[in-house]
Amino acid sequence: MKRRILLAAAASVLSLSLSAPVLAQTPANKVFRFVPHANLTVLDPIWTTAYVTRNHAYMIYDTLFSEDAKGAIKPQMVDSYQVSKDELTWTFKLRAGLEFHDGKPVTSTDVVASLKRWASRDAMGGILTTFITSYETPDEKTFKIVLNQPCGIMLDSLGKASSNVPFIMPARIAATPGTEQIKEHIGSGPFMFKADEFKPGSLVVYTRNPKYKSRTEAPSAVAGGRPVNFDRVEWVIIRDPQTQFNALKAGEVDMVEQPSFEQYETLKKTEGIKVEDFSPAGLQFIMRFNHLHAPFNNPKIRQAALVAMGQKDYINTQVGVPELGRLCRSMYPCGTAYGDEDTGYFTGVANPVKAKQMLQEAGYDGTPVLLMRPTDLASIAKLPLVAKQQLEAAGFKVDFQQMDWATLLARRAKKDAPANGGWSAFLTAWTAGDISNPLTIQMFNAKGQNGWFGWQDEPRLEYLKNRFARTVDPKEKKKIASEIQRVAFETATHAPLGQYQSPTAMRSNISGVLQTPGIPVMWNIQKK
């Protein structure tokens, strides 16, 4: 029966490819079929930090600035900018000819509306807002940001490459409150989203934007030119790793974003397939706590959970390939500017005896930990199994609930008590680019009800982040970053569970895949 299911799934992938009438008139090398790491259900890249949604957004939206392969911030939609002598007024001019997919020009009003909505959700955007006195739009192609004091994070904020990204959308859409999801998906980027062909759970379709005005510079990560070599890109949703492998081997799909680690060695030896890592900086596994409800509304109980965590088990169980995993206690990735393994009580080695003692001292009353597990996301699906084992070994009672990733994303946004549809903890992964700076780490967004999922309320973190943003001396910034991590461990914002690489598999005839901060971009790619 299992074999029949797999064969049926593979057949459905092929039928999806053949059912689209456009393909009958489109050369094979002008269609690119991509298997994303997760099902796309949420289409609003400001409402959620989910990477699959961010990747979708890079297809259809554009940004004011972008990050190149060296980490430098370069103009993208912006043509030029100036800073006043007192450093309080930044004036930006948009490139000529920028146009949304509905045919309307991109204006400064669209930019300002988009930035305001983005800043209402993003950790770094929220810090930037504390510097801003006002926005001005003197004409349709010019916008100004007026500050109350000099700001050293302006370009870093406007050009941040990952969740949440300040994507530019029409003002009427950006007027949607950040707490609500947008209903239209219109950008000015290199591809257009085909809402009429969108089949959640099976197929997402994009077509080339014929009016897209690419920059003339050579592509570099997500900066520079964005040459499009495909008339049509299909995201084929295949949840089973073996079915993904079969489809790739048969040439029914061109690229699998995150094949299972168990297939790593086989993929490297399979004819017609190659393995590349477009995100060499890697990722970090983490466990996030819900700070609103018992048992993790008690910081001492959260600390006990951290002491119960052993990174080696997570790496060995989920990754299982020695060359792809690395132990690292720091909340900032080891090897980056602020990486710091002075982590106090957190050793990264499971100590259930000490954790059980800490639980007793904290007065744990047996309230269950509602732990969510995404069964259809192979890259992290095993992590909750390890977490359940380690928490139970320390004396926690665990309510283990399994669901698909889309359901988990919806549930983690609920502030209800676990017994009423909420949650206590979940595990996920972050690219190094998202967690290398204290202003971009969403788990450090400690604004309570207005913070990131988990809703920690910790004024000390917000104060230190503001100090960091206002400091220019590198040594002082390093010192503040370490202090932020100290408070983060003291209050147990989350648990860092080790670093790893996640290579991508693709057909051997694919070339031009750009190295980025973890973003699989569809421009510059060619298919022979």
Count of Cβ atoms closer than 10 Å to residue 83 Cβ: 15
pLDDT tens track for 397-421: 999 999 999 999 999 999 999 999 9
- Cβ contact 430:330 at 8 Å: no
H-only helix segments in 120-170:
123-129, 154-158
| End-of-domain residue from the set 119, 150, 174 | 174
Question: Among candidates 428, 413, 13, 456, which has minimal Cα distance to 202?
Answer: 13
Looking at the fold, whether 165 and 254 belong to one and the same domain comes out as no
> In sequence order, what are the residues at sequence separation of 6 or more whose Cβ sits closer than 8 angstroms to the Cβ of residue 515?
69, 221, 278, 279, 280
Looking at the fold, whether 18 and 81 belong to one and the same domain comes out as no
Lowest pLDDT segment from 22-26, 49-53, 68-72: 22-26
For the cut 70, the answer to whether the pLDDT of residue 15 exceeds it is no
CATH number at residue 322: 3.10.105.10
In a domain, 33, yes or no: yes
Looking at the fold, whether 361 and 431 belong to one and the same domain comes out as yes
Domain span at residue 67? 62-174
Query: What pTM, to 2 d.p., does this model score?
Result: 0.91
Predicted confidence at residue 437, as pLDDT, reads: 95
Looking at the fold, whether 126 and 202 belong to one and the same domain comes out as no
SS3 254: coil
Q: Counting beta carbons within 10 angstroms of the beta carbon of residue 26, is it exposed (0 to 12), middle (13 to 18) or buried (19 or more)?
A: middle
User: Bridge partners of 526?
Assistant: 511
pLDDT tens track for 183-202: 999 999 999 999 999 999 99
> In sequence order, what are the residues at sequence separation of 6 or more whose Cβ sits closer than 8 angstroms to the Cβ of residue 97?
213
Looking at the fold, whether 395 and 475 belong to one and the same domain comes out as yes
Return left, alpha or beta for 361; rule: phi > 0 is left, psi -120 to 50 is alpha, else beta. Answer: alpha
Looking at the fold, whether 319 and 445 belong to one and the same domain comes out as yes
CATH number at residue 67: 3.90.76.10
Query: pLDDT above 70 covers what percent of the chain?
Result: 95
For the cut 70, the answer to whether the pLDDT of residue 175 exceeds it is yes
Q: Averaged over 78-96, what is the pLDDT? A: 98
pLDDT tens track for 321-380: 999 999 999 999 999 999 999 999 999 999 999 999 999 999 999 999 999 999 999 899
For the cut 60, the answer to whether the pLDDT of residue 256 exceeds it is yes
Confidence of residue 14 (pLDDT cuts 50, 70, 90): very low
CATH number at residue 17: 3.40.190.10
Number of domains in the chain: 3
Q: Averaged over 502-522, what is the pLDDT? A: 97
- Cβ contact 384:372 at 8 Å: yes
Q: Which residue has the tokens 């810090």?
A: 127
Predicted confidence at residue 109, as pLDDT, reads: 98
Predicted confidence at residue 13, as pLDDT, reads: 44
One-letter identity of residue 107: T
Q: Averaged over 471-494, what is the pLDDT? A: 96
In a domain, 268, yes or no: no
pLDDT tens track for 104-156: 999 999 999 999 999 999 999 999 999 999 999 999 999 999 999 999 999 99
In a domain, 183, yes or no: no
Q: Counting beta carbons within 10 angstroms of the beta carbon of residue 37, is it exposed (0 to 12), middle (13 to 18) or buried (19 or more)?
A: buried
In a domain, 277, yes or no: no
Looking at the fold, whether 336 and 379 belong to one and the same domain comes out as yes
Looking at the fold, whether 469 and 331 belong to one and the same domain comes out as yes
Residue-wise DSSP of 197-251:
G-BTTTEEEEEE-TT----SSPPBTTBS------SEEEEE----HHHHHHHHHTT
pLDDT tens track for 18-48: 344 444 457 888 999 999 999 999 999 999 9
Report the alpha-carbon angle 481-483-487, nearest 5: 120
Looking at the fold, whether 388 and 449 belong to one and the same domain comes out as yes
Lowest pLDDT segment from 194-198, 314-318, 471-475: 471-475
Q: Averaged over 304-323, what is the pLDDT? A: 97
Choose between 489 and 7: higher pLDDT. Answer: 489
Looking at the fold, whether 487 and 510 belong to one and the same domain comes out as no
Count of Cβ atoms closer than 10 Å to residue 1 Cβ: 5
In a domain, 336, yes or no: yes
In a domain, 266, yes or no: no
For the cut 60, the answer to whether the pLDDT of residue 12 exceeds it is no
Question: For residues 373 and 177, what is the distance between their CA atoms, to the nearest angstrom?
Answer: 29
Confidence of residue 2 (pLDDT cuts 50, 70, 90): very low
One-letter identity of residue 10: A
In a domain, 276, yes or no: no
Q: Averaged over 52-79, what is the pLDDT? A: 97
Question: Among candidates 120, 19, 205, 186, which has minimal Cα distance to 450?
Answer: 120
- Cβ contact 476:436 at 8 Å: no
Query: Which two three-digit tokens encode residue 327?
Result: 């132990």
Looking at the fold, whether 228 and 156 belong to one and the same domain comes out as no
Looking at the fold, whether 116 and 214 belong to one and the same domain comes out as no
In a domain, 112, yes or no: yes
